[in-house]
Structure 1
Amino acid sequence: MVAGIKSSSIRQENDLISANVGDTVILRCFYEGDMVVISSWYKQTLGEKLQLFSTFYNNESDATFHHKFKDNPRFSVRSGKEVNHLRISDIELSDSATYYCGSTYNNIMEFGKGTIVIVKGSGSRNTTVLQQFISGSVQPGDSVTLNCTIHTETCAGERSVYWFRHGSGEYHPGIIYTHGDRSDQCEKSPVAGSPTQSCVYNLPKRNLSLSDAGTYYCAVASCGEILFGNGTKLDIKGR
């Protein structure tokens, strides 16, 4: 870093935002420092590469959207002194992703920690993701198995299932486990001619500690869609 240049500090207001199809969400991003030249947003869908979403130059009045996000009235950016807020209206299932706020100054680029957006709603293939409720007291040293059941119509292509955790405090959500395409975990409907199948995915958690507490989300990427369960909350009480 060149001497005399103050590093900007990026803060994304939310770690995780949950919305229903059709809602409007605002991803708020704040930064410090008057040397920022470009403010940007990046989108990363589960299992895919980071993709440039928008850029805003401090000498222009409007943000520029890139790739498939161009000319889409659902997206808008409010950028100005120390703010860079992304608004997504009439939200769709395809908007589920992690969004990173970035700033560029003196050829140095910084990113915020990211905001995970979970969009819930009916999929076009009538896919349902169910997570069970954990009853009873869980204490350090105990073991539990988190369960995710997916009811879906069969389709060509692979299915990927992800688990991630949203803890309390400073812990940021992140993928903790990925299931590949495991057809042996699926059973077809016993109804003759039915295209529906049920798939079960388990996440064993052994020798739990207080740091394992949080809400665990199951997400399935299949047939061009990404759907999320409602989450399983794991409360761990000290002995």
Structure 2
Amino acid sequence: MRMYWTNILFNAILGLAVTNDVTQPDPMVVTHLGRSVSLTCFCPSEMIKSVLWLKQTFGQKPLLMASSYHYSQESSYFNNFIKDFNRTKRLRVKRAEDSFNLTFIETEPGDSATYYCAALKINEIIIAEGTVLIVKGSDSNSMSVLQQPVSESVQPGESVTLNCTVSTETCEGEHSVYWFRHDSGESPPGIIYTNGDRSGQCMKSPESGSPTQSCVYNLPKRNLSLSDTGTYYCAVASCGEILFGNGTKLDVGGNQSNPLLLIVISFLTTAVILSVIINVIFCMRMKRSQCEHCAGTVDYTLYENEEVTM
């Protein structure tokens, strides 16, 4: 059975497509260690023969988890997920007429990954855009990830550096660091950088006898544009687990006002107001001058008429 699906996936790779036949409404799901969470997949097309769930851990190839025929309630399980589905019952899939949902009864650190729902047609595999599942560790975890700054607003063309600090007590050495961005649109988060620019400083805590080690990773962003707007997450893989930072929200060309633009607008507004005032005063003086001239002409005419009459 495993060889059958392997051949199907390999032979259909040329027909790979992303369409509305299969959709995952949640591009990202954040939960805490030990909690239950479900990932939703809609697949309403009648042309679908079967549906699948695949897991892709950061930096690794996708693995087939489960499959089910379109009009069947029975499912098949694969790879190292068989135990979690059949024995421990930690994972579960639910097949409905138009959906195929994946549920984690009790999340573990290793569940942090991107999960893809896919549908098999006659000669192609249709894969949804995926859902990134982030499992945050408990407070007693020996490793923590801190991102700085929490938010940053810049103008187009400017630069900014995002920081990710990893603190660990029991696990020393290199960390696998991934940066990915989630924009405000419908597109799912995508990895933009692997093993971010390390600061080169991993130092022990200055406290005597403390086993804590801190490492800093930087992600420089230069010549920013509006398309760089989004939330940037730092993911750190170390000691058999993956932890995520809370994210840094980057706003490029947001509500900040350009000081030069404000000066220009203020100058033009003042100039217009002064021009209106000057024009009003000029018109009033011209009108008054014309009235006085008219009054003098009328009096002189009357005087001449009186002399003629006499």
**In 2, are the aligned partners of 1:21 and 1:91 still within 8 Å (CA)?**
yes
Post-superposition offset of 1:153: 2.6
**In 1, are the aligned partners of 2:71 and 2:97 still within 8 Å (CA)?**
no
Partner Cα separation in structure 2 for residue 181 and residue 230 of structure 1:
19
Determine the structure 2 residue equivalent to 1:25: 37
Per the normalisation by structure 1, the TM-score is 0.88
Partner Cα separation in structure 1 for residue 172 and residue 146 of structure 2:
22
Q: Deviations over 1:39-82 (max 9, x none)?
A: 11000111211111111123532222222222231211121322
Report whether the alignment pairs 1:9 with 2:21: yes
One of 232, 235, 252 as aligned partner of 1:216: 232
Determine the structure 1 residue equivalent to 2:241: 225
Post-superposition offset of 1:227: 0.6
Determine the structure 2 residue equivalent to 1:52: 64
Determine the structure 2 residue equivalent to 1:4: none
One of 132, 138, 150 as aligned partner of 1:122: 138
Pairs aligned (count)? 234
Q: Deviations over 1:61-119 (max 9, x none)?
A: 22222222222312111213221111112212111000000111213211111100001
Partner Cα separation in structure 2 for residue 160 and residue 123 of structure 1:
22
Determine the structure 1 residue equivalent to 2:50: 38
One of 80, 90, 109 as aligned partner of 2:125: 109
Partner Cα separation in structure 2 for residue 172 and residue 156 of structure 1:
32
Partner Cα separation in structure 2 for residue 173 and residue 58 of structure 1:
28
- Work out which of the two has the higher radius of gyration on C-alpha atoms and give 1 or 2: 2
Report whether the alignment pairs 1:191 with 2:203: no
Letter in 2 for 1:32: P
Partner Cα separation in structure 1 for residue 197 and residue 169 of structure 2:
15
Greater per-residue helix proportion:
2
Partner Cα separation in structure 2 for residue 167 and residue 120 of structure 1:
21
Pair 137,109 (structure 1): closer, same or farther in 2 beyond 3 Å: closer
Determine the structure 2 residue equivalent to 1:200: 216
Partner Cα separation in structure 1 for residue 146 and residue 67 of structure 2:
37
Q: Secondary structure at the match of 1:211?
A: helix
Letter in 2 for 1:64: S
Greater per-residue strand proportion:
1
Q: Secondary structure at the match of 2:110?
A: helix
Deviates more, 1:7-16 or 1:87-96: 7-16
Pair 101,11 (structure 1): closer, same or farther in 2 beyond 3 Å: same
Pair 123,48 (structure 1): closer, same or farther in 2 beyond 3 Å: farther
Partner Cα separation in structure 2 for residue 36 and residue 13 of structure 1:
19
One of 169, 176, 183 as aligned partner of 1:167: 183
**In 2, are the aligned partners of 1:123 and 1:227 still within 8 Å (CA)?**
no
Determine the structure 1 residue equivalent to 2:78: 66
Q: Secondary structure at the match of 1:98?
A: strand
Give the RMSD, CA atoms, in angstroms. Answer: 2.4
Pair 38,67 (structure 1): closer, same or farther in 2 beyond 3 Å: same
Report whether the alignment pairs 1:153 with 2:169: yes
Determine the structure 2 residue equivalent to 1:141: 157
Per the normalisation by structure 2, the TM-score is 0.69
Deviates more, 1:123-132 or 1:192-201: 123-132
Tell me which of the two structures has the higher relative contact order, counting C-alpha pairs closer than 8 angstroms and 6 or more residues apart: 1
Determine the structure 1 residue equivalent to 2:99: 83
Post-superposition offset of 1:133: 2.8
Determine the structure 1 residue equivalent to 2:111: 95
Q: Secondary structure at the match of 1:199?
A: strand
Letter in 2 for 1:20: H
Pair 114,75 (structure 1): closer, same or farther in 2 beyond 3 Å: same
Pair 123,102 (structure 1): closer, same or farther in 2 beyond 3 Å: farther
